[in-house]
Amino acid sequence: MEPDPGLAISVVITTLAGIAGIAAPIFYRSYFVYRNRDKKEIMPDDFLSFERVLLTTALLSPYFLVISVLINMNETANMLIALFALYALYYYFPTEKKVRFEMKIFRIKPTKH
């Protein structure tokens, strides 16, 4: 008996949603911290670039939910992808308070205009 191709697609899409929503942002953040560990101050442009890539990666997971609904995947996979998407939206969506806190953590001085 051959494996159901629908199941294989469900597993791949669910895994990609988990990687995009949870694993990749954690690894990218760790890489950014490691790369800047010896710097006294991080340039605002570097931080902005980091935040942009982090957000882009994390916020791919809601698109996997749209794909899973459109191709009519099973409910369990849809629920898992929805959890990954909600986590990514909640944790990585930039609010002013979060951005100020991140800037403080990474020793970034706000630019004066």
Which residue blocks in the chain are alpha helix, DSSP H?
5-18, 24-35, 44-58, 61-70, 75-92, 96-105
Domain range summary for the chain, segments of one domain joined by +: 5-105
Stretch 36-51: mean pLDDT, rounded?
A: 89
**pTM score:** 0.81
> What phi and psi values does residue 108 have, to the nearest 5 degrees?
-110, 125
**Tens digit of pLDDT for each residue in 52-67?**
999 999 999 999 999 9
Does residue 15 have a pLDDT over 80?
yes
| pLDDT on residue 4 | 53
